[in-house]
Amino acid sequence: MRILHLGFEDPRMPGAGGGSVRTHEINRRLAADGFRITVLTTRYPGWRERVQDGVHYVPIGFGQGSTRMTRLLGYVVRLPFEARKRRAAADLVVEDFFAPFSTMAARLWTKRPTIGVVQWLHAREKARQYRLPLHWLERFGVRRHRRCIAVSQGISDRLTALNPDIHVDVIGNGVDPAAWKPVPTVGQDILCLGRLEFTGKGLDLLLAAWAQCCRRIDGKLLIAGTGPDEATLRAAIANAGLADRVELLGWLSGDAKFQALSRARLVVCPSRQETFGLVAIEALATGTPVIAFDIPCLREIVPNGAGWLVDAFDVGALARELEARYSQSGLESVGAQGRAFAAGYNWDRLATLQGAAYRAAISEPAAFEAQVEGPAALPHIVR
């Protein structure tokens, strides 16, 4: 099968999120199984067209894509042209949803069987942030799709609320086998890992909670990652007088990331919204318990006995939970339960499921007719 994947974010781009990791881990396994896959992504400083693990990456846009805005605009403007240029050589188009408006309603202009992969569905939050009706675009685009893959049941529920006639396959994210290499240890510090972004990732909430409890905790708060709000984060740390209690580790990947997760005493995920929560499941795989806000998607992957959920966005509750769990005995057994739970998130199995969803998308003539001709209703099936 020939796949044209509208992937948005390149996994090699500094600061790339978990969505691009999922795209590559699934695609490289499908490529090994005989799929021919081309992924269109944004440009970024140092970009280059390449074949990586059997997957053809083609960054599109204008110039070097040196800022988030130029990357977004270059991709949005060039994508329809670049996709149309390649669609004759594609059996299926895969559209990854992306910020700030989720979907470009690709099935309307690709004229090929199209399936959406939904790792992001937060246009309403972005609409409030930018004071633009981005959620209207999201709703319009979702209602144009007839088949999607969601990475969590929470996302699936939101898709069907927007479009009751959509078919959704729930296929989560996997964990890199390298996460099981480090020997679990009960470390000294608390770790937060991910994109440095205040609005979505809740770093402001984390700093406020840390200011309340850090004097009663021996270790430091370690924050690993890069992102658009790094300068804002550094200023907030200094203004709060936390420079001696917070350390920024920069971008971590591969073995370095899993070593850091394994050596942490606790991993904290203060996100305001998530589509899956890859960092949380990776932390569990390394044997480190997780504390997170009780929000959709995260509550699916932080089970009782392997971590703790806190009332959403309650800074005081987060501070109390960090302090209480830091000194709790028996963290080794909590970590062992997390490892057992995370073992179910296997990339090979998930890639097989996604390949089956792709085959189904091109084997149903009615689905393709609905995409090309109009909004004829298809059966509502959620798996």
Do 115 and 189 lie in one domain? The reply is no
The domain tally of the chain equals 2
Q: pLDDT by residue (tens digit) across 66-96?
A: 998 999 999 999 999 999 999 999 999 999 9
Report the pLDDT value the prediction gives residue 112, as an integer from 0 to 100: 93
Report the pLDDT value the prediction gives residue 16, as an integer from 0 to 100: 83
Q: What pLDDT band is residue 374 in, cutting at 50, 70 and 90?
A: very low
Interval 102-119 mean pLDDT: 94
Do 314 and 360 lie in one domain? The reply is no
Do 220 and 334 lie in one domain? The reply is yes
Report the pLDDT value the prediction gives residue 230, as an integer from 0 to 100: 95
- Given a cut of 70, whether residue 366 has pLDDT beyond it is no
DSSP structure string for 200-245: HH-HHHHHHHHHHHGGG-SSPEEEE---TTHHHHHHHHHHTT-TTT
Is 378 part of any domain? no
Q: What pLDDT band is residue 287 in, cutting at 50, 70 and 90?
A: very high
Do 75 and 123 lie in one domain? The reply is yes
Q: What pLDDT band is residue 367 in, cutting at 50, 70 and 90?
A: very low
CATH code (residue 48)? 3.40.50.2000
Q: Which domain holds residue 45?
A: 2-174+347-373
Q: Residue 354: enclosing H or E segment and its boundaries?
A: helix 347-363
- Given a cut of 50, whether residue 312 has pLDDT beyond it is yes
Do 76 and 217 lie in one domain? The reply is no
Is 383 part of any domain? no
Interval 98-119 mean pLDDT: 94
- Given a cut of 60, whether residue 378 has pLDDT beyond it is no
Q: pLDDT by residue (tens digit) across 246-273?
A: 999 999 988 999 999 999 999 999 999 8
Do 11 and 134 lie in one domain? The reply is yes
Do 193 and 101 lie in one domain? The reply is no
Do 182 and 120 lie in one domain? The reply is no
Is 358 part of any domain? yes
Is 12 part of any domain? yes
Q: Which of 8, 13, 76 is nearest to 42 (CA)?
A: 8
Do 77 and 208 lie in one domain? The reply is no
Q: With pLDDT > 70 as the criterion, what percentage of the chain qualifies?
A: 95
The per-residue pLDDT of the chain, averaged, comes to: 92
Do 22 and 38 lie in one domain? The reply is yes
Is 182 part of any domain? yes
